[in-house]
Amino acid sequence: MALSAEHDALAELPVWRHLVAMVYDLFLIVPLLMLTSAALLAVHGPVETAATRSVPAWQQWLLGYAALIGFYGVFWRQKGQTLGMQAWRVKLVSRVGLAPISWQQATIRVISASIPLILALIPYVFFDIRSAGIVLYVTSGIIASSGFLWRWTNTERLYFHDYVSQSHLRLTPPRNKGMRKP
């Protein structure tokens, strides 16, 4: 797929930059998800013990996904970068022209990036996490990282969620800080 000259000018992104930008974004995402849980708890009310669920799991998942899609969608549609991505010069660009990332692309990207993690957690529904063997842990780890491992299976160096959402990450050039004159 042919990319525009502007996108061609951006360098390929090293994996370590992507991972560090994700860690930076976690400092914003975790409180956001805590707020969504607090909102649901305010609606459903507290319970006496932690063993009893007051909020249905489907509501937590639905609101959590909506919050993530909203968070990433707003940032990606404006500049193509979240705050963590800005700090590490990572930019998300569309593979279908110069248009900014669409809401559809943001939604597909968030959901497809989370599918391997969800699949990796499914065995723990059936097995006790405290007595699970090393094979289960290793298998879950491989499944959870399969979306990222996909990068080394194709010539374009795209992650699974890049491929599915028709977008990809690029490295932006450093900003000129300019010399101040006294």
Q: What is the pLDDT of residues 26-58, one digit of tens each?
A: 999 999 999 999 999 899 888 777 777 788 888
- Give the CA diameter of the chain: 68
What is the token pair recorded at 18? Answer: 């992507």
Q: What is the pLDDT of residue 136?
A: 84
CA distance 90 to 163: 17
The residue extents of the domains of the chain are 5-170
What is the token pair recorded at 169? Answer: 């990450």
Predicted TM-score (pTM) above 0.95 = no
Q: What is the pLDDT of residue 5?
A: 46
What CA–CA distances, in Å, run from 107 to 3, 53, 95, 114, 177?
Answer: 22, 28, 16, 11, 35
What averages of pLDDT result for each successive group of 10 residues across the chain (182 residues)?
A: 51 90 96 94 82 84 95 95 94 87 95 92 81 84 90 90 93 76 54
Q: What is the pLDDT of residue 4?
A: 46
Q: What is the pLDDT of residue 91?
A: 94
What angle do the packed helices 57-78 and 15-44 form, to 10 degrees? Answer: 130
CA distance 162 to 66: 20
Q: What is the pLDDT of residue 1?
A: 44
What is the token pair recorded at 135? Answer: 């094979």
Q: What is the pLDDT of residue 8?
A: 52
